Amino acid sequence: MALGPDGGQLFRMLADIGRAVGLGQQHVDARVARILSACVAEPALFAGLSLTGSSTCYTRHILEAACGYCVMAIVWLPGQASPIHAHRSWCSLGVHRGVMTETHYFAAASAIRRAGVRELRAGATSHGLADGSGAHQMANLGHEPAISVHAYGVSAERIGVDLNEIWAGAVCQ
């Protein structure tokens, strides 16, 4: 990751997240969310970085690949959404730019039921511990690109296998 002269804000945020993770697993999601809340909307946070999106899918940019956790910026073009998924580890996220919609779900009998919807604007955060009983979906339903910062309790190289449980093929009601 090559940063310009203003990269200090990002380095401070990543260092603070590292210290919060080092305090242990209890409430780590909330600690990291508080750090994100304090700095994620700073306009110069990503100064010197080229965070590009893709027309085919939201794009992950790894900011920190540490032992046991990772931090990434995700670029969401208008209309892009994650699949409905539960997390197998803690997760904290904050919106840097744009508006994201977070929809929560829970499993009920043979269907998935919507539990609530939140609109997250720059500076807003969300977090949770690993909980297979509930899931969420992130989406950029706006007309402008959005960037969010996500911290997960898994190593970057294990994201594809250890993080998400996709609720594929389920019927939403």
Q: Judge whether residue 36 has pLDDT over 70.
A: yes
Question: Packing angle between helix 28-39 and helix 8-22, nearest 10 degrees?
Answer: 160
Of 90, 71, 95, 94, nearest to 28 by C-alpha is 90
> Which of the four pLDDT bands, split at 50, 70 and 90, describes residue 171?
very low
Query: Is 72:154 a contact under the CB 8 Å cutoff?
Result: no
> Which of the four pLDDT bands, split at 50, 70 and 90, describes residue 4?
very low
Average pLDDT over every residue of 45-74: 95
Number of domains, the chain: 1
| CATH classification of the domain holding 138 | 2.60.120.10
What three-state secondary structure class fits 8? helix
Domain hosting 34: range is 8-166
CB atoms within 10 A of CB 79: 11
Q: Judge whether residue 141 has pLDDT over 80.
A: yes
In a domain, residue 47? The reply is yes
DSSP state of 83: P
Query: Is 14:7 a contact under the CB 8 Å cutoff?
Result: no
| DSSP H or E stretch at residue 32 | helix 28-39
Average model confidence (pLDDT) for the chain? 88
In a domain, residue 2? The reply is no
Percent of the chain with pLDDT over 90: 66
18: tokens are 């590292």
